Chain A
Amino acid sequence: MAFATRRKLFLAIMAVPVVAYVLVVGIWPLAQGIWYSLYDYNLIRPQRTKFAGLDNYIEIITDPVSRQALINTAIFTVGAVFFELLLGFALALSLWRDDRFNRLALALILIPVTITPLVVGLIFKGLLAADYGMIGYFLAQWGLTDPRGLLADQHAALATLIFIDVWEWTPLVALILLAGLKALPSDILEAASVDGATGFQKLRIIVIPLMLPAILLALILRTVDAFRVFDTVYVATGGGPGNATNTLMLHAVKQGLEFFNIGRASAIANLTLLIIALIAAGFVMMIRHADRKANGK
């Protein structure tokens, strides 16, 4: 056999297992999920399973609880990603200069990213509790928040969850943006300084346009992750009070693994997957466009 053929065969054998594995353990169940979503399928009464067409999907839109979950997820995503990007950019700019203090600061600042999301939820639940919480007690005492605490307040719970997400993931955004900053060509920045550009002008005219690919990357990553948020919300509020913080993933888990309504849960999960895929595709198109612009067409 010619070497080129043997080489091709060898590389194929190396790559096939992971593709096969992902297809069997990932894609096959997902395809089944699409199948389930078309049925009125409940594990409690499996003998009464019947084809339901798009009923499960229609119910998501007509059922107020599901609609609320969709709206909550959208608000959560937009709010969290907006503040993470803003604060992350400020952090990245402060960490730009490569000295010992900044290297240590970056290492320490990444700690929230590595903490179990479940524990993050517990930490803030503990800190914000109105009865014994280190922060929540004082906030409630001074009359700044609902006496039952921020997470039990119908109007403040979702905002508080956004705050928790910002705490958890801003360091990651800062890291991505910092990598983008460090990859900027230093000669252009120096030339701008020589020409007498102010810091703000440099930022607006050079840094942000050249960093657009990195900014979009941070955006895509965080938007996708925020949209499928589960752990912290499940622990911190469990979707309550009422349905004030119920998100799509939380709703799917409750429907599927607590009420065993597999058809409905699959429909919610599939709808979430579809929205995420659309968001991701939109961002990828924007990244391509920005890349072409940054590299001079």
Chain B
Amino acid sequence: MTTRHWLQTGRRAFLLIMLAFFLAPFLWLATTAYKPSSAIFSIPPTFAFSPTLDQFRTIFRLFDVWSLLRSSVLIATGSVILSLALGVPAGYALARSKSRYAMGIAYFLMAIRMIPSVAALIPFYLMMRDIGLLGSWMSVVLINSMLNSAFVTWLMFSYFRGLPPELEEAALTDGCTQFGAFFKVALPAVMAGIIACVLFCLMFSWNDFLYPMFLTRLESKPLSVALLSAYGTKDITWGTLGALAHFSTIPIVIVILFLNRYFVQGLTKGIH
């Protein structure tokens, strides 16, 4: 029994060290937002500081935070809605179809995920320029949703496949319409999958900066791009970046921490 006890202690110790390793850098960024600049730039670096909200005042003075936030929210919501509207019905159709093409289409959509973002960006950039959408948040939604809807289809395909079709068949024989059987019977049974899809789309479009960096203009710029352009500018310190990260990063981290169950389940399901 003692070896087992020691093994368990060792495992705990290893996990605690790993937790410190994976959390410390994040906590460092979060706390810089509450440090006065003197504490950030002290030589040698110091761990002790008296908390202040100065950094938050600075970012509201330097940035139009609400406009950045609005763009981020528009891009994220637009992408979530479009991706789910396209992907969820398709996932259902592919899971229920007996056609021999269904599996092939599902794999094709999964493979879309592997496209390097840059390979799609350059031709897409020229396409948006030609149809006059360059510079709008819409163009970012369009390309985000291309990658997201393909992933949503694949993920929902695995969720719907795990759902026995008997209930829908019973509803159909009872005179329910086909859409009704999908919408009222199958859909409520895969709510966990829907939540996972929302989380993934949200995370992807909120965190993405390559597409908005080249596709948006000043007034349609989201937080992620502002964060990058802020770096290296005069008056910008790690503290202001930390404060800005409170808007750009920490909301997503908290949402996923609370809905962790769905995130983990969707991740392991979507990968298989």
Bound Cα distance from A265 to B11, whole angstroms = 48
Q: Which has the most chain A C-beta neighbours within 10 Å: B32, B116, B125?
A: B116
Which secondary structure dominates where chain A touches chain B?
Answer: helix
Whether A252 lies near B122 (C-beta < 8 A) is yes
Nearest chain A residue, comparing its CB with the CB of B225: A118
Whether A25 lies near B142 (C-beta < 8 A) is yes
Whether B268 lies near A175 (C-beta < 8 A) is yes
CB proximity to B under 8 Å, residues A117-158:
117-119, 122-124, 126-127, 131-134, 137-138, 141
Q: Could you mark each residue 160-176 of chain A with 1 if its beta carbon is under 8 Å from any beta carbon of chain B, else 0?
A: 00000001001110011
Nearest chain B residue, comparing its CB with the CB of A137: B45
Q: Does A114 contact B (CB under 8 A)?
A: yes
A94 CB, min distance to chain B CBs, angstroms: 4
Whether B93 lies near A14 (C-beta < 8 A) is yes
Bound Cα distance from A228 to B25, whole angstroms = 24
Whether B146 lies near A25 (C-beta < 8 A) is yes
Q: Does B260 contact A (CB under 8 A)?
A: yes
Q: Does B1 contact A (CB under 8 A)?
A: no
B68 CB, min distance to chain A CBs, angstroms: 13
Nearest chain B residue, comparing its CB with the CB of A277: B114
Q: Contact residues of A with B, CB < 8 Å?
A: 6-8, 10-12, 14-15, 17-19, 21-22, 25-26, 28-30, 32-33, 36, 90-91, 93-95, 97, 101-102, 105-112, 114-119, 122-124, 126-127, 131-134, 137-138, 141, 167, 170-172, 175-176, 179, 199, 217, 221, 224, 227-228, 230-231, 235, 248-249, 252-253, 256-257, 262, 265-266, 269-270, 272-273, 276-277, 280
Q: Contact residues of B with A, CB < 8 Å?
A: 7, 11-12, 14-15, 18-19, 21-23, 25-26, 28-29, 32, 40-45, 86-87, 89-90, 92-94, 96-97, 99, 102, 105, 109, 111-112, 114-127, 142-143, 145-147, 149-150, 153, 178-179, 182, 203, 206-207, 209-210, 214, 224, 227-228, 231, 238, 241, 245, 248-249, 252-253, 256-257, 260, 263-264, 267-268, 271-272
Give the top 6 A-B pairs by smallest Cβ distance, nearest first: A29-B123, A269-B119, A14-B93, A228-B116, A15-B93, A179-B268
